[in-house]
Amino acid sequence: MQAPTPSFDKGSLPPTLGYARGMSNVDVAVLPDLYRAHLAELSRRTDGVCAQQGLDGLVVHSGTAQKKTSFDDQFWPLVTTPLFRHWLPLAVEGCALLVVPGQKPTLFLNVERGFWDGPPAPESPHFWPFYDVVEIRSPADIRRALRGKVGGLAGVGDDRAFLGALGLADDRTQPRDLLVALDATRVTKTAYEIFCLRAANRRACRGHAAVLEAFAAGDHSELDLHLLYLKETAQDDPETPYKNIVAINEHAATLHHVSYGKNKIAAQSLLLDAGATFLGYDSDITRTAVKGSGAAADVFRQLVVGVDRLQQQLCLQAKRGLSYEALHDESHRLLALTLQETGIAKKTASSSALVDAGVTRKLFPHGLGHSLGLVTHDVGCRQIAPRADNPFLRNTSVIERDQVLTIEPGCYFIDSLLAELRASAAAEHLDWTLVDALVPFGGVRIEDDLLVTDDVVDNFTRAFLP
Ligand SMILES: [Mn+2]
């Protein structure tokens, strides 16, 4: 085996990987064994895909940094493709992995460096011994190393030009059937992946706890809370798995509110949807907090408690054999009950009428959740489209053991959707004076990440955060 370039420290594994401030570090002594077993399982699954697709092997591209605009020389931070990250947590552009059934995988490691910048060091060196490393400086070097023997290979990644430069035929770069089959290999998680996803939860929960504490203690700007979260989780903004959603008051009705206000304001409610990564695996967590007094604040607080309770009920129901879409439907039934309890729905409206008339879907317009792993919204569980009344549902699979899922019901007061509701026959079911009083609170979402096991559901998030 050729040694990796000296710019990468191959050194021995540190006893712990420390991230979040104020909490004990993650013990990583188990990583090499977990990773060995992960690679064996990943190889087994990939071999199956190659056999099914009639391929001799795969070339997996790491990624190419994207320019922000052609008028400048600034680049977006590199995000490696999940196809590559499934194998190893190395964030270097222009690398490729050659995977051939029965052989040790070859890592074509791009060592071409200018003097302006350099690649980030891997978070952990545990993966190096499992690859034959060949140093390259361009796709042409890979093409030479393959010596034209690419007939039976297919290439996957973001960048068709890169794959084409390896000599792969057009119909062997990014074949759709192959990508769908590879997505499916990410649906159930290995013990290594479960370890990483749990650690990513632990890291994010520290940030959530700090932001919720600060929110309760005083007034802040959304930007202040965003920066506090980054500091507490030791993440730079581009390193988070998705842009933090930090929404005070009515901003919580904007489902992806990421344009943080810079002024300190008197807050009544806060919705924080923020995650963290661990060795390339994501967490995705949402909490909603309320403070202040008054009749409307009391009802909103009751709504937060109600959504939190139904969310925990749904987590307990996420068992193998159930279709995720049925669980999504169940979330609407439970939300209707909460609308009755809080008085948002009139006593004359039955819970089934609230669902059938579309009231719950105007107040909770997004899907119940999604598969989680190397990508925050992983796609392998949405191989078939949802029903027409669940257009944004990202998981239509049957729940199975070793899936990692989010459960994230919500209830929002979104101007455009309230206008549609007010103009419809279903308007009679709601107490509009109360709804109008709740608009300044924006909305509520509660989201946990959980692992489906044989019996009990393993909730990663609640282990670290109430
Ligand atoms: Mn989510």
User: Is residue 348 a part of any domain in this protein?
Assistant: yes
158 and 123 part of one domain: yes
Distance 208 CA to ligand 1 centre (A): 15
Distance 371 CA to ligand 1 centre (A): 9
Last residue of a domain, one of 117, 149, 184: 184
Distance 242 CA to ligand 1 centre (A): 10
Closest to 183 in 3D by CA, of 41, 326, 46, 385: 46
Integer angstrom CA distances of residue 27 from 17, 30, 168, 344: 7, 8, 42, 47
pLDDT by 10-residue block (mean), the chain, 466 residues: 49 56 61 94 98 96 93 91 96 95 95 81 86 94 88 92 91 94 96 95 94 97 98 93 98 96 95 95 98 95 98 95 95 98 94 95 97 92 88 91 97 98 96 98 98 92 94
Rounded Cα distance between 312 and 410, Å, is 13
At 298 the three-state DSSP class reads helix
Specify the CATH number for the domain of residue 165. 3.40.350.10
Rounded Cα distance between 205 and 285, Å, is 8
User: Is residue 280 a part of any domain in this protein?
Assistant: yes
Distance 219 CA to ligand 1 centre (A): 27
User: Is residue 1 a part of any domain in this protein?
Assistant: no
User: Is residue 6 a part of any domain in this protein?
Assistant: no
Distance 285 CA to ligand 1 centre (A): 7
Distance 400 CA to ligand 1 centre (A): 19
Q: What's the confidence (pLDDT) of residue 6? A: 41
Give the number of other Cβ atoms within 10 Å of residue 421's Cβ. Answer: 21
Cβ atoms of 84 and 61 closer than 8 Å? yes
Q: What's the confidence (pLDDT) of residue 4? A: 44
Distance 258 CA to ligand 1 centre (A): 15
Rounded Cα distance between 466 and 450, Å, is 14
151 and 206 part of one domain: no
215 and 178 part of one domain: no
236 and 87 part of one domain: no
Distance 372 CA to ligand 1 centre (A): 8
Number of domains in the chain: 2
Which residues lie below 8 Å from residue 357, measured CB to CB, with a gap of 6+?
Answer: 424, 425, 426, 429
Q: What's the confidence (pLDDT) of residue 172? A: 93
Gyration radius (Cα) of the chain, Å: 24
Distance 378 CA to ligand 1 centre (A): 10
Distance 369 CA to ligand 1 centre (A): 6
Integer angstrom CA distances of residue 125 from 35, 37, 73: 11, 16, 31
140 and 288 part of one domain: no
User: Is residue 389 a part of any domain in this protein?
Assistant: yes
User: Is residue 11 a part of any domain in this protein?
Assistant: no
Distance 21 CA to ligand 1 centre (A): 24
User: Is residue 317 a part of any domain in this protein?
Assistant: yes
Which residues lie below 8 Å from residue 438, measured CB to CB, with a gap of 6+?
Answer: 296, 299, 300, 303, 344, 413
Specify the CATH number for the domain of residue 409. 3.90.230.10
Rounded Cα distance between 269 and 240, Å, is 23
Distance 284 CA to ligand 1 centre (A): 5
Distance 322 CA to ligand 1 centre (A): 20
Q: What's the confidence (pLDDT) of residue 51? A: 97
360 and 337 part of one domain: yes
256 and 299 part of one domain: yes
179 and 289 part of one domain: no
Distance 280 CA to ligand 1 centre (A): 17
Last residue of a domain, one of 184, 207, 241: 184
Distance 394 CA to ligand 1 centre (A): 10
Rounded Cα distance between 208 and 271, Å, is 11
Distance 129 CA to ligand 1 centre (A): 35
Distance 349 CA to ligand 1 centre (A): 31
Q: What's the confidence (pLDDT) of residue 147? A: 84
Q: What's the confidence (pLDDT) of residue 11? A: 59
Domain assignment of residue 205, given as a range: 191-459
Last residue of a domain, one of 143, 161, 184: 184
Distance 292 CA to ligand 1 centre (A): 28
Distance 397 CA to ligand 1 centre (A): 16
**b/e string for 321-351 if b means 16 or more Cβ within 10 A?**
eeebbebbbbbbebbbebbbebebbeeebeb
164 and 272 part of one domain: no
Distance 393 CA to ligand 1 centre (A): 11
User: Is residue 2 a part of any domain in this protein?
Assistant: no
Distance 428 CA to ligand 1 centre (A): 32
Q: What's the confidence (pLDDT) of residue 383? A: 84
- Measured in whole angstroms, the distance separating CA 88 from the mean position of its chain's CA atoms is 18
Distance 177 CA to ligand 1 centre (A): 26
For 373, counting Cβ atoms within 10 Å of its Cβ (0-12 exposed, 13-18 middle, 19+ buried), the class is buried
